[in-house]
Amino acid sequence: MEQEDNFDYKSFEKAAIRGLFSGQPLEGKDGVLAPMIKRLIEGALDEEMKAHISQKKPDNRRNGKMGKVVKTGYGPVEIDTPRDRDGSFEPIILPKRATTLGTSLDDKVISMYAKGMSYEDIGEHLRDLYGLEVSDSVLSSITNRIIVEVEQWQNRPLESVYAMVWLDAIHYKVRQDNRIVSKAVYNIMGVNRDGIRDVLGMYIGQNEGARYWLQVLSDLKQRGLEDILIICTDNLKGLSEAIEATFPRADIQTCIVHQIRNTLNYANWKDLKALAADLRKVYQASNNEDGFNKLMEVEEKWGDKYPNAFKSWHANWEKICPFFYYPAEIRRLMYTTNPIESLHSQMRKITKSKRSFSSDNALMKLLYLVVKDITKKWEKPILNWNQISIQLNIIFTERFNLNEI
């Protein structure tokens, strides 16, 4: 490089070591790496200019330099960018109008955004740590780069068979048409035939119903999902009809925990513990008949005091009882939506500081990053999957078929 003689590496090394020993930071506006970053960028630009001049018409030549401050993951660096006479030089490493270098800074921003930090907090962090002034609009444009990744994730192919699927919703406030509205994010979590969990999809919606759920489940089918053995849900409106239309062979299990919560809503707080203990006997029964008998005993004990508390049990019993026909290991997985509620709990930890989101895209960006981080830990099969898979293979011989995995 032409400038090699102008940069004293030994002096830089000595100064950097002295700086580190005296407490000077490695990164940031006063970091010891700033001179080296400046040297590397300017050297690369100089090589680009040399190649450009040699390939263009002979009357084009260098025409001085222009300085600008570039944001990097190591802090702001003032760079002297070379210019040519006819203005045709378009550098690759640092384009003409670029004020940010490389992906390091972008990665830092997205990492902080994924932890639930606001643009204001991210900007303050970058300012304090790196001496960078980054506006909210720039931060938004950086995080918007993952929208393409989100769309690819939303449309990725699914496996043909999932042993179990849980569906549940989590609610957020989103700005729409100059007002704040409540929107539900419907998450679909599944376990494949290897026992590995995954979030199959996230859908933002307002008008829940059979038509909406038909659209969601049809999307799963278009992405390659052909069969679901067991679906557990919170008896969401219109879902049963949509399942029967798209996955007619799936066993639908209404979450017992939600059913019990609904019953406890009718009770005085002094009776909650005793009533909950009695209701526990219902889902711990050995079979369907025993479970219904236990329900009758609970209703006989509490029905006079809370006559409306048990109506939904009778109305929904056929949707509540399917788990009774399965072995205990499978029952523990399917009788409740707790697995997906655990996912929602982790989402809330990250999003709890957000009073509202500026758009559906802003909400989806953050939730996608949260899910991406959570699912990294889902590499091993769920507990007791070896035994569960054998049981499923016996119950659903043709549909589960371990031999095809």
**255 has pLDDT over 70:** yes
Which pLDDT belongs to residue 62? 85
> Are 361 and 258 part of one and the same domain?
yes
Tracing tokens 């569960």 back to the chain, one arrives at 388
149-199 pLDDT, tens digit each: 999 999 999 999 999 999 988 899 999 888 999 888 989 999 999 999 999
Question: Do 213 and 244 touch, CB atoms closer than 8 A?
Answer: no
Of 78, 90, 89, whose CA–CA distance to 41 is shortest?
78
- Please indicate, yes or no, whether residues 216 and 270 belong to a single structural domain of this protein: yes
* Average pLDDT of the segment spanning 46-53: 79
Is 332 found in the same domain as 193? Answer: yes
4 pLDDT band, cuts 50/70/90, is very low
Instruction: Return the pLDDT at 114.
Output: 86
Distances (CA, A) of 387 to 125, 189, 285, 383, 384: 49, 21, 21, 9, 6
Percent of the chain with pLDDT over 90: 45
Q: pLDDT band for position 103 (50/70/90)?
A: low
Q: What is the overall mean pLDDT for the chain?
A: 84
Is 104's pLDDT higher than 90? no
**How many domains in the chain?**
3
The token pair that represents 279 in the structure block: 């209701």
pLDDT score of 89: 82
Residue finishing a domain among 155, 190, 225: 155
Question: What per-residue confidence (pLDDT) applies to 1?
Answer: 39
pLDDT band at 14 (very low <50, low <70, confident <90, very high): low
End-to-end Cα distance, the chain: 57
Do 166 and 288 share a domain, yes or no?
Answer: yes
Are 38 and 124 contained in the same domain? no
Alpha helices in 256-337 (DSSP H): 256-264, 272-283, 288-302, 311-320, 328-334
Within this chain, do residues 86 and 144 fall inside the same structural domain, yes or no?
A: no
Asked whether the predicted pLDDT for residue 353 surpasses 70, the reply is: yes
pLDDT score, position 2: 42
Among the listed ranges 233-247, 319-333, 358-372, which one has the minimum average pLDDT value?
A: 233-247
- Of 101, 121, 137, the domain-final residue: 101
Residue 347 burial by CB count (10 A; 0-12/13-18/19+): exposed, middle or buried?
Answer: buried
Q: What CA–CA distance (Å, rounded) separates 31 from 257? A: 55
- Among 32-41, 185-194, 281-290, 356-365, the range scoring the smallest mean pLDDT is 32-41
One domain, residues 229 and 370: yes
Let me know whether 255 and 380 are in one domain.
Answer: yes
Q: What is the pLDDT of residue 123?
A: 81
Looking at the structure, tell me whether residues 243 and 386 fall in a common domain: yes
User: Which of 59, 78, 101 represents a domain boundary (last residue)?
Assistant: 101
Q: Indicate whether 149 and 163 sit together in one domain.
A: no
Q: Is 172 in the same domain as 224?
A: yes
Query: Could you tell me the sign of the dihedral formed by the alpha carbons of 13, 17, 22, 28, in that order?
Result: positive
The 10s digit of each residue's pLDDT in 132-155 is 677 788 788 878 888 889 999 999
Write out the two tokens for 373: 């981080």
Q: Which residue has the higher pLDDT, 112 or 185?
A: 185
For residue 112, the model assigns a pLDDT of 83
pLDDT in tens, 287-342: 999 999 999 999 999 999 998 999 999 998 998 999 999 999 999 999 888 899 99
Say if residue 144 is in the same domain as residue 167. Answer: no
The residue range of the domain holding 143 is 103-155
Residue 176's nearest CA partner among 356, 355, 366, 365 is 356
Q: What is the 3-state secondary structure (H, E, C) of 36-76?
A: HHHHHHHHHHHHHHHHHHHHCCCCCCEEEEEEEEEEEECEE
Give residue 313's pLDDT: 93
Helix (H, G, I), strand (E, B) or coil at 233: strand
